[in-house]
Amino acid sequence: MDRLTSAKIPASTANPSLYSFAVPSVAYGKSATWFYTTIAIVIALLVLEQSIYRYKKRHLPSDKWTIPLIGKFADSMSPSMESYKKQWNSGALSAVSVFNIFIVMASSNEYARKILNSPSYAEPALVHSGKQILLSENWVFLTGKDHVEYRRGLNALFTRKALGIYVAIQETITRKHLKNWLAEAAKTGAAQPIMMTARAMNMDTSLRVFCGNHLPEHAAREINEKYWAITQALELVNFPLALPGTKVYKAIQARKVALRWLELAAHNSKIAMANGAEPECMLDEWVQSLADPTYKGRKEFSDLEMAMVVFSFLFASQDAMSSGLIYGFQHLADHPEVMAKVKEEQERVRQGDYERPLSLETLAQMPYLQAVVKESMRVQPPVLMVPYKATKAFPITDDYTVPANSMVIPSFYNSLHDSSVYPDPESFTPERWLDPQGPANSNPKNYLVFGSGPHRCIGLEYATMNMTLVLATACAMMNWEHEVTPLSNTVEIIATCFPKDGCRLKLTPRAHS
């Protein structure tokens, strides 16, 4: 019995050992199951992502496969003209994907105009974070009848009477900044960087044209300084979440500051106009037009609504107009024969009186300078493209339909460099605009600098006038030469097409006989 008992003891004690060994075996099996299940799900999602991408792009030129999740995000961190040109030249329509946002790029004039003129299929989106930054209720995002009616009311801000008021403000501020440029050049004896100094001048001008003296000086400085964060955040592709430290987050904080001051300006303008003051800025013109008994549009706008309109105008003027102005300086410096003709025209128009204030009538007597401005923006368009969102399936061609909720982006560069319309398109030739019957003037549909359709830039006359006035005043006050740097001819693709901050000009006062 002892032997039987002793024989059973190992048998009974072996059972727990065998049992305890089985536990990790079962656990390992479950872990392996979850591991392989997770891998299978991930693979299935990746296959689904690639399948959806390929289904959406169909026959459009693009990569056969997209990088999982991020797509072309890495490439978009440092966009270049070369990469964009490669994309545009791959086909009239082409496709990319970024953060699973499907994007159709339109490079031909036909398809670019079709997008711009199809409000029932596509609406302006600017960029994926555009509504976060500019606010979704901003008028620029309105469509259809609402947009038409809103825009009709804003047309009063760009009448000839209104532009006549703005000219005096523009010239006063331009002369102040150019004097400061010359003083700094005399102090250092070195070539001056043009990018941020020209942008600061343009922002100062815009704020005073739009808000007059209803904005305190320190407020104008703060908006000027902070608005660059908004420009940087409105890149075509950016990290989409407004997390602290990101560009989008910083832009939202800058917008809050700017709107607070712009609301104050709108409030002060209403008070001034109610007290019988004469209009001295854009806000004043707006308030007065609303009080006109013959005005048939909407009569009431809150301070915030007026502030949002001015805020959107600041975006266009501070970015696109600044870019155009900087390239205007550079093009004249790089083409001294053109600069000489501009100065000859200035002498002829001004008749030796370089202190006499400019007017709309005076600017109209400068056709060559106007051709220079137009050609400068054609050669180097301030805005390369304007992102739209397909609100529903958009049959853009007979054999391709842009999927609903995709981004669809008309680019302007190819239209503005079409050799059949602009012979030798890369050359800077203002004379092409002086012949009314020439191909440039005979094909206005190609000149997409200010867009097309219902969302065409409402301030195009103001922007062109400001560039003409600044360059006319600069030619009267100073000479400048381009000190070429490694960055002189490179482009920074952000919200607009800025030159890299490497363009430097040697400035000297201009002596008049």
pLDDT for 18 equals 41
> Per the structure block, which two tokens stand in for 440?
């440039």
Q: What is d(CA 167, CA 170) in angstroms, rounded to the nearest whole number?
A: 5
| 475 sits in which H/E element | helix 460-477
Q: How far is CA 301 from the centre of its chain?
A: 26
User: Residue 122 — φ and ψ, nearest 5°?
Assistant: -140, 145
> Per the structure block, which two tokens stand in for 445?
């549909």
pLDDT for 46 equals 78
The per-type count for the chain, helices as H runs and strands as E runs, is 19, 10
pLDDT for 493 equals 65
pLDDT for 498 equals 65
Say what angle helices 460-477 and 160-188 make with each other, to 10 degrees: 40
Query: Of all residues in the chain, what percent carry a pLDDT higher than 90?
Result: 58
| DSSP letter, residue 167 | H
What are the start-end ranges of the H helices in 129-159? 130-134, 144-154
- Provide the pLDDT confidence category of residue 264 given band limits of 50, 70 and 90: very high
268-298 pLDDT, tens per residue?
999 999 999 999 999 999 999 999 888 877 8
Q: Judging by DSSP bridges, how do beta strands 101-106 and 407-410 pair with one another?
A: parallel
Q: What is d(CA 207, CA 215) in angstroms, rounded to the nearest whole number?
A: 8
Q: Is the dihedral of CA 432, 437, 441, 445 positive or negative?
A: negative
Give the gyration radius of the chain's Cα atoms: 30
Do 394 and 118 form a contact (C-beta atoms < 8 A)? yes
Tell me the residue ranges of DSSP E strands in 125-265: 192-193
Q: What is d(CA 181, CA 187) in angstroms, rounded to the nearest whole number?
A: 10
> Per the structure block, which two tokens stand in for 275?
């007290």
- Provide the pLDDT confidence category of residue 140 given band limits of 50, 70 and 90: confident
pLDDT for 237 equals 64
Long-range contacts: 245-248, Cβ < 8 Å, 24+? Answer: 248/129, 248/132, 248/133
Q: Look up tokens 């319309």; give the residue.
A: 421
Q: What is d(CA 307, CA 138) in angstroms, rounded to the nearest whole number?
A: 10
Q: Which of 418, 411, 414 is nearest to 103 (CA)?
A: 411
Instruction: Average the pLDDT over 152-164 and give the result.
Output: 92
Of residues 75 and 475, the one with the higher pLDDT is 475
For the sheet with 407-410, list strands across it: 93-98, 101-106, 407-410, 388-390, 122-124
| 222 sits in which H/E element | helix 217-233
> Per the structure block, which two tokens stand in for 284?
């004043």
> Per the structure block, which two tokens stand in for 37?
């299940």
Q: Which of 54, 50, 73 is nearest to 62 (CA)?
A: 54
Q: What is d(CA 273, CA 25) in angstroms, rounded to the nearest whole number?
A: 84
497: pLDDT strictly greater than 70: no
CA distances from 36 to 26, 33, 42, 234, 240 (A): 15, 5, 10, 41, 32
Question: Is 503 marked as a binding-site residue?
Answer: no
pLDDT for 213 equals 95
Q: What is d(CA 500, CA 488) in angstroms, rounded to the nearest whole number?
A: 7
> Per the structure block, which two tokens stand in for 261?
């001051």
Q: Look up tokens 């609402």; give the residue.
A: 146
pLDDT for 427 equals 97
